[in-house]
Amino acid sequence: MAETGPQPLLTRTIEAEPVVTDPALDGDHERMSHIVLEGYKPKEGDFVSTGPTVVEGMVNGTPVRALCGKVWVPGRDPRRYQLCGTCREIAEGMGWKLPAG
């Protein structure tokens, strides 16, 4: 009987989509907090995910998309930055209550 020894660990590499941002959103937009819609719950039915959560982005390095369209991998404390005006305008237009700021 032949000795088999330890079995190799099989891994799978997943290619992430490239992070593409609108040039109009670069620059000062990098120094702002943004709102990410992680999902919603319809009147009837279960929660529906709209993409990666901010926590998933921070832990796994997964890009997230803000209401304004900015795509990035979250990594900074958003409380340290001013809220993006475009995200605020979109959220308020949807009837969301946001803190003053």
Q: Name which of 9-13, 50-54, 67-71, 80-84 the model is least confident about.
A: 9-13
Residue recorded with tokens 């620059």: 27
- Local structure of residue 6 (DSSP, 8 states): S
pLDDT at 68: 92
For residue 58, the surrounding DSSP H or E stretch is helix 54-60
Average pLDDT estimate for 56-81: 89
Whether 34 has a pLDDT exceeding 80, the answer reads: yes
Residue type for position 18: P
Structure token digits, residue 20? 């593409």
Q: 85, 68 in Cβ contact below 8 A?
A: no
What is the C-alpha to C-alpha distance for residues 93 and 7, in angstroms, rounded to an integer?
56
